[in-house]
Amino acid sequence: MTKIGRPEILRAAPLLAALTLLAAGCGTERAGDVAGDGGPSRATATTPSAPVDLPCPGESSAPSPSPSADPSGPATPPTDHYAENHGFLVPLALHGKLRCDGLAAARRIERVLEPLRERGDFTPQSTLGALTGLGYAAGNVRSSQDGPTGVSFVIVARPLCLEGEMNRETTRADAFGGYPDGTDCEPPSGGH
């Protein structure tokens, strides 16, 4: 009679485990069973529906998705995973009452900055003064020179983030809910 030692048992263990799994099977269906035939039904997975936003005061029709919140692209994902790897740069969209609050705040900002634009006053100091005049704390407003004739700004007004720019052609302000990685209202510098 041959004596089986410890090394032989250790080498045979994975084979025995695989055979046990094959004999036991992986599911509850058996040969001849028809899916949905008298057995317990599995609950279907539900996906959360996209929030429905009604028009806010001052809007003429149903809201259109913001370009940064709902990027349109090819139906198939890119093979280089660019969108997946840069998703941390896409701001969080606002919905419901918070969306309406954000749109109203953006309109107020545009109205207060438009006279500066018309005068050609594109200094961060003037922009900061106008925005703090709306009631935003100076510590929550950052404005910076954006070329020789432009100013950009970011306002932290939790739960809102407001950002925009003013230059010779336009005054623009947008509201969003921050960034997915929690960098507050500033675009994150790194990600996946």
- Look at residue 41 and tell me if it is in a domain: no
What pLDDT score does 59 carry?
A: 79
Q: Is 125 part of any domain?
A: yes
Q: Are 164 and 174 in contact (CB under 8 A)?
A: yes
- Please report whether residue 55 resides in a domain: no
Is 116 contained in some domain? yes
56 domain residue, yes or no: no
The reported pLDDT for the residue numbered 20 is 56
- Residue 183 falls inside a structural domain: no
Mean pLDDT by 10 residues, the chain (192 residues): 57 57 53 51 56 78 48 55 75 93 96 96 96 96 92 95 96 94 79 56
Q: Tell me, what's the pLDDT at 126?
A: 96
Residue 57 pLDDT = 84
Query: Is 130 a domain residue?
Result: yes
What does the pLDDT read at residue 174?
96
Domain limits for position 97: 92-176
Buried b (16+ CB within 10 A) or exposed e, 124-159: bebbbbbbeeeebeeeebbbeeeeeebbbbbbbbee
Judge whether 108 lies within some domain. yes
Number of domains the chain is built from:
1
Give the count of beta carbons closer than 10 Å to the beta carbon of residue 95.
16
